[in-house]
């Protein structure tokens, strides 16, 4: 791709830019901002405006506990993730040992696996009936399982497992960007290794670390699968919202949703501030520091492989369990029977195949829609230089900042009434609601990719096409789209995966007819069809891993653009 | 003059910045016109207005008596070569060159023949299947030219066509470019900030400064009779000295009292302070007692073979450059400098008129 160089005032606003910008702005606002405003209105008792629901929220100790739970779980997750991710980043970026490249990519894998799949894999491995506890139970000849994988500690374990990757990727990127001259200058001034680290390296990494910290915090704040399946009686805001709804306490659910959204937006404003500083640090660029050949390279490599194996162990468990027929594994240490019956049932029974088909078409439709809207917005803002550009970009990015639960509840509130003149339709309970919600959640991924792609493309290429007589449509199809396709494909791949594995939005909005894979996993678990649930999980994980290894590994930006789930 | 392309009182502002101010130009059919100016002068904006990438706030662009001011670029039938060529990196050479033909709806066979023919003109026969990313800078430039010429445009526009090339390649490429344009015989407007390039390629040169046309004419006219203080200092080398204008005697009186013959470059009135602009070749080393001689010391010599450029600090005045025989003086030598009877006549420009224009 050609980068734009000298930039004369490019290009003149094309006719129709403002009209298109306005229309797009309306569509995006309707999808992204409007449901939230309606939720706020309902929390305020519309049409009989009142603050009493908020007052009620403040009076209830369990609400305070959930709020506090969200906050401290997120902070603790951040600390844990940093403690694992940062040292690993130093190891993989600063040293050289056999297998470094491959391991380096492999350990980033947990970030793209759907959160729900990670959680059930953990349960199967470390949970009450899991491999590990059975082994311990057998070894100690105890009648009871040695532990229960439940409560805040369990949530933290799963969070640390998935989210250390943010610190790992950000720190690695930050280290790779670091100018070796700084370190050499410090060393030449007589600073030892520890001092260089403390006085030079870490301060320079601060923006990257701040970015990773806030991303981890936000992801953890919006996390739903782990607290929902492992929380037990321990509640965080996301689960509290869903249980309030389940209990029919709609107003309270709205207040909780608004509170969580506000918390997330405060987080986002911090994130953006950290981002700005990151760019400043990124502007300093010389040669990256060289790698230190590790004396005990083989030892490090071996422990690296063990670590990677540990990371993949939950998913290996899942694979194993997918071959265990229902009801055959009771009290034994290891499953006595293996067969492909679960897999056969998943692919041959129409009712079992349906969730897969549902997830595939809904994710595809949502991604296509999000791509279309994202590209149209980027084209209007970047190429036609519409004055609506900044508004479009903000609206596209907004869903990224909001926990999936907030989004889902807002959608449920907005589209359960029929008021066409107010832009409200009864979509809840129809096949349209989930793809639409996935679409809105995917907008940041496709939008970001489209904006970045277009901004990096030399505008002279389109002008050249114009001067050669090509119409605006021909220019986009023959020149612009083929050239930004690589940039778009990463965003599209991640958007598709997010929708495919979605649980947090689906659990609020699904209907039986359009239930996606994640919901089917949950109901299989409830019916103690562990093997079937595992087979679905393996399917989702495999799809995600393949897409990740093809596209995802290329940059931190991609991982960062993934919305919290 | 046989007027083919007309820029008629063009005005353009970006925000509060006036980039083009009342600019009018005529280009004859088959003529090559250079738009010359320092960076930020607005010359590229003029080219973009002609190409249709910008729309003027007022004024017209007329070609063959057709007003194209509001016509989008794709319907103007103008060919353009971009500064960085803007070749489509995902297409081969042939696909690039055929792009404009395809947009016209030309059939495959005819287009292939035209591509071959145009590539032959730029001396790239047989390059059809190459990827543009595999080409050298000079080859890329020729592909860009072929792509612009293939649809047989009415006007060829070039934006700094040589600036992206290695200096050693530039002169050869310039000659090839001139050869191709002359052979095709197309009306051409090109933008450059390099005087040598403009003088070498163009029939006429339009000097642009701060969005305004300063002067348009042949290289000789620009060098020997610059119409503004800016043209006098921007084109070629020149020395600027403060002076007072004596209109009756047609002489500039230096602050140190010497009287140097000169002609007015712009309307100046007698007795007023002026800037006196003198070319280095219009000065000579003279005897201390000669008419108009100013004493000074040679500060440095920039060696240039037979003739060298001497930097001389004139007593009570400024440093000036004098072009003279390389052996005429040595650094630190005391000399006297006087106006020569050869070389372009020194010119004076009024001070107030140019007060906001730095040299």
Nearest to B151 among A2, A460, A468 (CB): A468
Interchain CB distance below 8 Å, A467 and B89: no
For chain A, the residues whose C-beta falls within 8 A of a C-beta of chain B are 1-2, 5-6, 8-12, 458, 460-461, 463-472, 474, 478-479, 482-483
Mean pLDDT, range A276-284, rounded to an integer: 50
Chain B residues with CB-CB distance to A469 below 8 A: 74-75, 77, 100, 103-104, 151
The distance of A362 to chain B (nearest Cα, Å) reads 32
Nearest to B84 among A5, A470, A471 (CB): A5
Mean pLDDT, range A239-261, rounded to an integer: 91
As a whole number, the mean pLDDT across chain B is 89
pLDDT at A9: 41
- For chain A, percent of residues with pLDDT exceeding 90: 37
DSSP state at residue A479: I
Please give the Cα distance from B285 to B269 (Å, whole number). Answer: 30
pLDDT reading at A39 higher than 50: yes
Lowest mean pLDDT among A170-184, B182-196, B345-359: B345-359
pLDDT at B7: 93
The distance of A109 to chain B (nearest Cα, Å) reads 32
Mean pLDDT, range B121-132, rounded to an integer: 92
pLDDT reading at A55 higher than 80: yes
pLDDT at B111: 94
pLDDT reading at A3 higher than 50: no
Interchain CB distance below 8 Å, B89 and A470: no
For chain B, the residues whose C-beta falls within 8 A of a C-beta of chain A are 14, 44-45, 48, 51-55, 72-80, 82-84, 86-90, 99-100, 103-104, 147-148, 151, 157
CA nearest A464 in B: which residue? B86
- For chain B, percent of residues with pLDDT exceeding 70: 97
Chain B residues with CB-CB distance to A464 below 8 A: 80, 82, 86-88, 147
pLDDT reading at A283 higher than 50: no
In sequence order, the β-bridge partners of residue B155 are B78, B187
For B14, other C-beta atoms within 10 Å of its C-beta total 13
**pLDDT-derived band at A16, boundaries 50, 70, 90:** low
**pLDDT-derived band at A286, boundaries 50, 70, 90:** low
Lowest mean pLDDT among A326-330, B112-116, B133-137: A326-330
Mean pLDDT, range A34-60, rounded to an integer: 88
**pLDDT-derived band at A271, boundaries 50, 70, 90:** low
Interchain CB distance below 8 Å, A461 and B86: yes
Nearest to B74 among A5, A461, A466 (CB): A466
Mean pLDDT, range A123-137, rounded to an integer: 84
For residue A453, say if its preceding peptide bond is cis, omega within 30 degrees of 0. no
**pLDDT-derived band at B358, boundaries 50, 70, 90:** very low
pLDDT at A555: 42
The half-sphere exposure of A86 on its side-chain side, counting CA atoms within 13 A, is: 18
Phi and psi at A296, nearest 5°, equal: -100, 50
Nearest to A467 among B45, B73, B83 (CB): B73
Which residue from B109, B103, B84, B343 is spatially nearest to A473, judged by alpha carbons?
A: B103
For B352, other C-beta atoms within 10 Å of its C-beta total 11
pLDDT at A424: 86
Which residue from A236, A301, A262 is spatially nearest to A65, judged by alpha carbons?
A: A236
Please give the Cα distance from A115 to B219 (Å, whole number). Answer: 73
Which residue from A534, A506, A530 is spatially nearest to A518, judged by alpha carbons?
A: A506
Contact B247, B262 (CB under 8 A): no
pLDDT at A181: 76
**pLDDT-derived band at A242, boundaries 50, 70, 90:** very high
Contact A465, A477 (CB under 8 A): no
pLDDT reading at A5 higher than 50: no
Interchain CB distance below 8 Å, B75 and A479: no
pLDDT reading at A241 higher than 90: yes
Residue A517's SS3 state is helix
> Which two tokens mark A235?
């509640």
pLDDT at A425: 85
pLDDT reading at A326 higher than 50: yes
Interchain CB distance below 8 Å, B74 and A464: no
Mean pLDDT, range A326-354, rounded to an integer: 85
Contact B298, B332 (CB under 8 A): yes
Nearest to A466 among B73, B88, B148 (CB): B73
Please give the Cα distance from A451 to A488 (Å, whole number). Answer: 9
pLDDT at B359: 39
Q: What is the ipTM of this complex?
A: 0.84
Q: CA angle, A463 as apex, A462 and A466 as ends, to 5°?
A: 90
Residue A458's SS3 state is coil
Contact B328, B285 (CB under 8 A): yes
Count A/B contacts: CB-CB distance under 8 Å.
85
pLDDT at A561: 40
Phi and psi at A557, nearest 5°, equal: -55, -40
pLDDT at A12: 47
Task: Specify the length of chain A in residues.
Answer: 565
Nearest to B74 among A6, A470, A483 (CB): A470
Mean pLDDT, range B263-285, rounded to an integer: 87
Please give the Cα distance from A401 to A366 (Å, whole number). Answer: 19
Q: CA angle, A409 as apex, A371 and A229 as ends, to 5°?
A: 100
pLDDT at B81: 94
Chain A residues with CB-CB distance to B72 below 8 A: 466
Mean pLDDT, range B74-90, rounded to an integer: 92
C-alpha torsion sign, points B289, B290, B295, B296: negative
For residue A47, say if its preceding peptide bond is cis, omega within 30 degrees of 0. yes
The distance of A491 to chain B (nearest Cα, Å) reads 21
Tell me the per-residue pLDDT of A497-531, one tens digit each, with 9 for 90 and over. 889 999 999 999 998 889 999 999 999 988 888 88
Please give the Cα distance from A145 to A131 (Å, whole number). Answer: 11
Please give the Cα distance from B284 to B322 (Å, whole number). Answer: 7
Contact B65, B6 (CB under 8 A): no
Exposed, middle or buried, A432 (CB in 10 Å: 0-12/13-18/19+)? middle
Tell me the per-residue pLDDT of A528-542, one tens digit each, with 9 for 90 and over. 888 899 999 999 988
Q: Which residue has the higher pLDDT, B357 or A377?
A: A377
Tell me the per-residue pLDDT of A66-84, one tens digit each, with 9 for 90 and over. 999 999 999 999 999 999 9
pLDDT at B1: 52
- For chain A, percent of residues with pLDDT exceeding 70: 90
Chain B residues with CB-CB distance to A466 below 8 A: 52-53, 72-74
CA nearest B54 in A: which residue? A12
Interchain CB distance below 8 Å, A464 and B83: no
**pLDDT-derived band at B352, boundaries 50, 70, 90:** low
pLDDT at A462: 92
Q: Which of A111-115, B17-21, B187-191, B349-353 has the highest mean pLDDT?
A: B187-191
Contact A378, A388 (CB under 8 A): no
In sequence order, the β-bridge partners of residue B344 are none
Nearest to B44 among A8, A11, A461 (CB): A8
The distance of A460 to chain B (nearest Cα, Å) reads 6
Helices (H), A178-296: 180-188, 193-196, 202-222, 225-230, 237-246, 250-283
As a whole number, the mean pLDDT across chain A is 84
Interchain CB distance below 8 Å, A12 and B54: yes
pLDDT at A355: 93
Chain A residues with CB-CB distance to B131 below 8 A: none
């Amino acid at each position: 791709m050609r980068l734009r160089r000298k930039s004369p005032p490019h290009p003149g606003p094309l006719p129709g830019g403002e009209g298109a910008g306005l229309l797009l702005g309306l569509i995006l606002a309707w999808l992204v901002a409007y449901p939230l405003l309606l939720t706020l209105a309902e929390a305020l008792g519309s049409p009989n405006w009142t603050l009493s629901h908020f007052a009620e929220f403040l009076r209830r100790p369990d609400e305070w506990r959930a709020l506090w739970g969200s906050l401290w779980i997120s902070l603790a997750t951040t600390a844990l993730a940093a403690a694992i991710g940062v040292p690993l980043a130093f190891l993989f970026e600063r040293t050289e040992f056999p297998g470094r490249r491959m391991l380096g990519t492999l350990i980033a894998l947990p970030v793209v696996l759907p959160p729900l799949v990670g959680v059930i894999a953990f349960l199967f491995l470390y949970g009450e009936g899991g491999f590990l506890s059975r082994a311990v139970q057998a070894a100690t000849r105890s009648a009871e399982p040695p532990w229960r994988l439940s409560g805040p500690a369990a949530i933290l374990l799963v969070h640390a497992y998935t989210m250390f990757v943010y610190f790992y990727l950000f720190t690695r990127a930050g280290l790779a960007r670091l100018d070796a001259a700084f370190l050499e200058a410090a060393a030449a001034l007589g600073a030892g290794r520890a001092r260089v680290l403390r006085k030079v390296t870490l301060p320079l990494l601060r923006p990257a670390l701040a970015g990773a910290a806030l991303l981890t915090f936000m992801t953890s704040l919006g996390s739903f699968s782990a607290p929902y399946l492992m929380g037990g009686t321990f509640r965080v805001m996301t689960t509290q919202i869903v249980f309030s709804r389940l209990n029919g306490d709609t107003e309270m659910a709205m207040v909780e949703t608004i509170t969580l959204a506000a918390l997330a937006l405060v987080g986002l404003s911090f994130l953006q501030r950290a981002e700005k500083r990151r760019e400043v640090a990124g502007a300093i660029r010389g040669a990256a520091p060289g790698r230190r050949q590790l004396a005990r390279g083989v030892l490090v490599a071996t422990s690296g492989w063990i670590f990677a194996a540990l990371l993949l162990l939950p998913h290996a468990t899942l694979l194993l369990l997918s071959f265990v027929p229902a009801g055959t594994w009771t009290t034994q240490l290891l499953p006595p029977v293996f067969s492909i019956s679960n897999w056969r049932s998943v692919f041959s029974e129409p009712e079992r195949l349906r969730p897969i088909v549902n997830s595939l078409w809904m994710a595809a439709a949502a991604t296509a829609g999000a791509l279309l809207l994202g590209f149209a917005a980027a084209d209007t803002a970047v190429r036609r230089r519409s004055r609506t550009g900044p508004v479009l970009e903000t609206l596209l990015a907004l869903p990224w900042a909001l926990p999936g639960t907030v989004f889902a509840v807002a959608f449920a509130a907005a589209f359960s009434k029929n008021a066409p003149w107010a832009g409200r339709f009864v979509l809840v309970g129809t096949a349209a609601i989930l793809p639409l919600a996935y679409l809105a959640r995917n907008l940041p991924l496709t939008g970001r990719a489209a904006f970045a792609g277009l901004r990096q493309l030399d505008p002279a290429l389109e002008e050249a096409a114009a001067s050669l007589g090509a119409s605006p449509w021909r220019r986009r199809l023959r020149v612009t789209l083929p050239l930004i396709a690589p940039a778009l494909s990463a965003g599209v791949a991640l958007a598709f995966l997010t929708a495919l594995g979605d649980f947090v939005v689906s659990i609020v909005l699904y209907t039986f007819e359009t239930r996606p894979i994640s919901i089917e996993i949950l109901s299989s678990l409830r019916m103690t069809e562990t093997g079937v649930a595992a087979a679905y999980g393996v399917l989702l994980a495999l799809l995600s891993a393949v897409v990740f290894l093809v596209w995802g590994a290329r940059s931190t930006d991609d991982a960062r653009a993934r919305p919290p789930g | 003059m046989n007027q083919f392309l007309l820029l008629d009182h063009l005005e353009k502002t970006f925000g509060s910045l006036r980039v083009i101010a009342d600019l009018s130009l005529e280009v004859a059919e088959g003529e090559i016109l250079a738009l010359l100016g320092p960076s930020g002068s607005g010359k590229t904006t003029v080219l973009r207005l002609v190409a249709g990438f910008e729309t003027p706030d007022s004024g017209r662009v007329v070609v063959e008596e057709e007003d194209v001011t509001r016509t989008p670029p794709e319907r103007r039938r103008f060919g353009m070569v971009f500064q960085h060529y803007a070749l489509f990196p995902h297409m081969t050479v042939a696909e690039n060159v055929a792009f404009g033909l395809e947009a016209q709806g030309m059939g495959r066979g005819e287009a292939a023949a035209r591509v071959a023919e145009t590539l032959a003109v730029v001396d790239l026969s047989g390059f059809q299947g190459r990827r543009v990313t595999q080409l050298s800078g000079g080859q890329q430039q020729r592909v860009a030219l072929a792509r612009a010429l293939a649809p047989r445009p009415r006007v060829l526009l070039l934006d700094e066509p040589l600036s992206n090339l290695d200096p050693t390649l530039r002169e050869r490429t310039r000659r090839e470019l001139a050869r191709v344009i002359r052979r095709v015989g197309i009306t051409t407007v090109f933008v450059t900030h390099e005087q040598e390039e403009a003088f070498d390629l163009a029939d006429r040169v339009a000097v642009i400064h701060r969005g305004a046309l300063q002067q348009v004419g042949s290289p000789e006219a620009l060098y020997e009779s610059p119409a503004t203080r800016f043209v006098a200092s921007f084109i070629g080398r020149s020395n600027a000295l403060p002076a007072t204008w004596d209109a009756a005697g047609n002489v500039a009186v230096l602050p140190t009292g010497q009287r140097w013959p000169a002609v007015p470059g712009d309307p100046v009135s007698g007795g007023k302070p002026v800037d006196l602009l003198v070319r280095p070749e219009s000065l000579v080393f003279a005897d201390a007692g000669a008419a108009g001689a100013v004493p000074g010391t040679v500060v440095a010599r920039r060696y240039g073979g037979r003739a060298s450029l001497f930097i001389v600090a004139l007593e009570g005045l400024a440093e000036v450059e004098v072009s003279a025989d390389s052996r005429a003086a040595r650094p630190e030598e005391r000399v006297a400098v006087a106006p020569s009877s050869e070389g372009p006549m020194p010119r004076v420009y009024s001070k107030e008129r140019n007060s906001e224009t730095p040299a």
